[in-house]
Amino acid sequence: MSVLDEVQATVTRVSERASPWVVGIGSRIRGSGFVLEAGRVVTNAHNLRGDEVTVHLPSGRTERGRVVGVDPDGDLAVLAVDTDGAPAAGWGDGAAVAPGRAVFGVAALPEGRTRITVGLVSAVGRAFRGPGGRRIGGSIEHTAPLAPGSSGGPLVDAEGLLLGINTNRVGDAFYLALPADDALRDRLAALARGESTDRPRLGVAVAPAFVARRLRRSVGLPDRDGVLVRGVEEGSPAAAAGIREGDLIVAVGGRPVTDADDLLDALAGAAFPVEVRLVRGAEELAVSAGAAEAGGEK
């Protein structure tokens, strides 16, 4: 068998095995998704326009889906919809993907058809900003071309098994997929049950690190890594802990904080109440803060 014959056979196999569980999202297919289990479909949160959405099924039927769980920071959503007997996605090992591996992008087209594209994994452990501006790490970077309407669709291996969820475009030729690992599987199962994925927050607005350095220098204080508090939400855990505008947050839960991403990561991994270390002028102090549900501030 020639190399071309092998490629053709592989693409055919991928199409036959993955297409039965790939769906389209939106009346004009603005995104894709896949069947998680009977009655549940996964897509990107940025594909949603309200609590209900049209879902194009592999059978060619269209149904109205209802959002049962959404994680805006992770760009994930699970919809409740009649999946019309479509099988659930077959899971591969997204945690074991390495550069150089051949991968296939699968996206929905009208009337239950799919588009299959081929590429290679170019990098792993990549990060990007989600719809809410938060950093999403650990992503698979690949070169399988993705046309508009592909986001939320699967990245699969040569056996048609799920390796990731295509989510973000990088430049003109590279794409990022959330890896289909145990952590993702657990998150999707929680969303499918309607469980909240709200992340804890302090209730502070912060300034970039360079602003903190410039301000400290202007008043004769030494440079110090941290994030500058430029506002405190009334009634928030930060307010209750006595955190003030102008404080420099340097650590949360024992983890050093040098920028807003560090602060978000530290809060996400903290057990509350959590110790927050501050620099106020030349004085360093520690306060204890409880947790609030996620919102527009950190």
Backbone angles phi, psi at 262, to 5 degrees: -60, -40
Tokens describing residue 234: 């009334």
What pLDDT sits at residue 296?
Answer: 46
Q: What is the C-alpha to C-alpha distance for residues 16 and 27, in angstroms, rounded to an integer?
A: 25
245: burial class by Cβ within 10 Å (0-12, 13-18, 19+)?
exposed
Q: What is the C-alpha to C-alpha distance for residues 84 and 20, in angstroms, rounded to an integer?
A: 11
What pLDDT sits at residue 298?
Answer: 63
Q: What is the C-alpha to C-alpha distance for residues 285 and 41, in angstroms, rounded to an integer?
A: 48
What pLDDT sits at residue 295?
Answer: 47
Tell me the sheet residues that pair with 31: 25
Q: Which residues of the chain have pLDDT under 70?
A: 132-133, 196-199, 291-298
What pLDDT sits at residue 176?
Answer: 95
What pLDDT sits at residue 2?
Answer: 87
Q: What is the C-alpha to C-alpha distance for residues 231 and 160, in angstroms, rounded to an integer?
A: 49
What pLDDT sits at residue 154?
Answer: 98
Backbone angles phi, psi at 271, to 5 degrees: -100, 125
Tokens describing residue 98: 């390495």
Catalytic residue numbers read 46, 75, 151
Tokens describing residue 94: 């997204």
DSSP 68-134: EEEETTTTEEEEE---TTPPPPPB--GGG--TT-EEEEEEE-GGG-EEEEEEEEEEEEEEEE-TTS-
What pLDDT sits at residue 3?
Answer: 84
What pLDDT sits at residue 245?
Answer: 92
How far are the Cα atoms of 102, 145, 269 from residue 263, in angstroms, in the given order? 36, 35, 10
